[in-house]
Homo-oligomer: A and B are copies of this chain.
Amino acid sequence: MDVSIIAIGDELLIGQVIDTNSGDIARHIAPYGWRVNDVQVVGDNADEILRAIDRAFESSDVVLTTGGLGPTKDDITKGTLCRYFGGELRHDPSVLENVKVVVAKRGLRLNNLTAAQAIVPTSCRVIQNRVGTAPLMWFERDGRVLVSMPGVPFETRTMFREEVMPMLLEKFASDVAIGHRTVIVTDWSESQLAMHLSDWEDALPPYLHLAYLPKPGLIRLRLDGQHSDGAFIESELTKYHDQLLSLVGNTLICDGDKTMAEVLLDHLRRLGLTIATAESCTGGNIAHLITSIPGASESFMGSVVAYSNDVKERVLSVDGTTLAEHGAVSIPVVEQMTRGAIARIGADCAIATSGIAGPGGAVPGKPVGTVCIAITTPTGTVSDTFHFPGSRDRVIDRASTVALILAIKQLRKM
């Protein structure tokens, strides 16, 4: 089943808000064999919305809109939907009741603008929004469906997963089985890997497709299958997935679709080990990536973000002479930082970073992007110096990913 998405809101077109809803919907519908055919991002403008709906129904029987439903004046979606599907805008007491409950839960008072959210087109079936005040609206015409959902990611995510998708699955039964296998590899450029897999990829049967999804430091390979026979496509995916695993060999960093922080935590749990981080240039980002994973507290003990030499010395026990001789961005310093973190935080392993994220801070011989990373585990310490291109954000992002990959490489040997 093909789905078209229309993301509505001036804030999306001026770049003040990024549309994360479409990706979230896409990830959720994939296991059901559904796919997003296209996404259109349009402003709060009736003509643009109408044109987008026409276009969406050209390619899909299911159209999902997100956004354009807030209580303030820059939202005009509801009137436009009424114009498209007919009927009139009318007050719906059941929506007002629901809005009252949601507003009360938030400890707020109902005001006129929030109450106005109870005005809905008579041509729609209302889906009460349990986690926000804007009602969801289900429209049908000629067997095709448009569902209007709010733009707040948490509301869209909750309501789409728990209410809208089950209703869509009930209405449209899928006749094609779909499946995926994802493996994540490291130590390749995209083109090197593509050359390596070229013969195998050319010989893939027509119902299988390989996609390359490169990220800094790693490449996700996704094998997609689509066939009328669900059992057949599953067994084919298993067979070709096994072949792919043997082709990538020990460049495999994860068999499945996980973040590097998840893979790290898996290894720590398997080994019964704990970890800490000692971060200078990554500024707490590695700790943040690890603690974003539910259950991280089982293996992650804590972190010292040592942004000054003084903190490196006093809290992480880095030797003042080493700092003076080699500079803060040096292999001896990051190695000492791992040992200091292990002692101070109380953990079995540690990751340490020190580098120049930019735009300022470069010193002779150490340009912006220079990052030293060390990993200490019960089997010893490894360290290396890297040069990452790009902006401050990119250097931080990349250094964090590479540090996690280095730690995973050490742990998977154990």
- Taking Cβ atoms with an 8 Å cutoff, the residues of A that contact B are 10-20, 22-27, 30, 35-43, 48, 52, 55, 70-74, 106, 108, 111-114, 131, 133, 154, 157, 189-192, 194-195, 201, 209-214, 220, 222, 277, 279, 282-288, 290-292, 294-297, 300-308, 310-311, 314-315, 344-346, 357-361, 389-394, 396
Contacts and interface: CB of A to CB of B under 8 A. Distances in A.
Given A70-B214, A389-B154, A307 B301 contact: yes
Contacts of A157: 391
Given A14-B26, A41-B41, A71-B191, 9 more contacts: A17-B23, A38-B42, A285-B288, A287-B305, A292-B392, A292-B396, A294-B359, A294-B360, A302-B308
Given A72-B191, A304-B304, A360-B294, A14 B30 contact: yes
Contacts of A301: 307-308, 310-311
Given A114-B191, A305-B305, A345 B14 contact: no
Contacts of A212: 70, 72, 74
Among A24, A42, A157, A304, the most chain B Cβ lie within 10 Å of the Cβ of A304
A37 to B, nearest CB: 7
A296 B190 CA distance: 35
Contacts of A284: 277, 279, 284-288, 291, 303, 305
A37 B13 contact: yes
B195 A111 contact: yes
Determine chain A's interface SS by DSSP, over half rule. Answer: mixed
B189 A108 contact: yes
B291 A305 contact: yes
Contacts of A22: 15, 41
A17 B212 CA distance: 12
A207 to B, nearest CB: 16
Counting from the closest, the 6 A-B pairs by CB-CB distance are A283-B291, A284-B287, A284-B284, A15-B23, A15-B26, A303-B305
A14 B35 contact: yes
26 contacts: A10-B211, A12-B39, A15-B30, A15-B36, A16-B213, A16-B220, A18-B23, A38-B48, A40-B40, A70-B214, A72-B190, A73-B194, A74-B211, A74-B212, A133-B191, A279-B287, A284-B284, A284-B288, A288-B396, A291-B307, A295-B360, A297-B308, A297-B361, A302-B305, A302-B315, A311-B346
Contacts of A23: 12, 15-18
Contacts of A307: 291, 296-297, 300-303
Contact of A70 (B74, B190, B389): B190
A16 B301 CA distance: 30
Contacts of A41: 22, 38-41
A8 to B, nearest CB: 11
A38 B391 CA distance: 27
B302 A345 contact: no
A154 B14 contact: no
Contacts of A291: 282-285, 305, 307, 357, 396
Nearest to A304: B304
Contact of A315 (B55, B133, B345): B345
Contacts of A303: 284, 303-305, 307
Nearest to A108: B189
A269 to B, nearest CB: 15
A133 B285 CA distance: 29
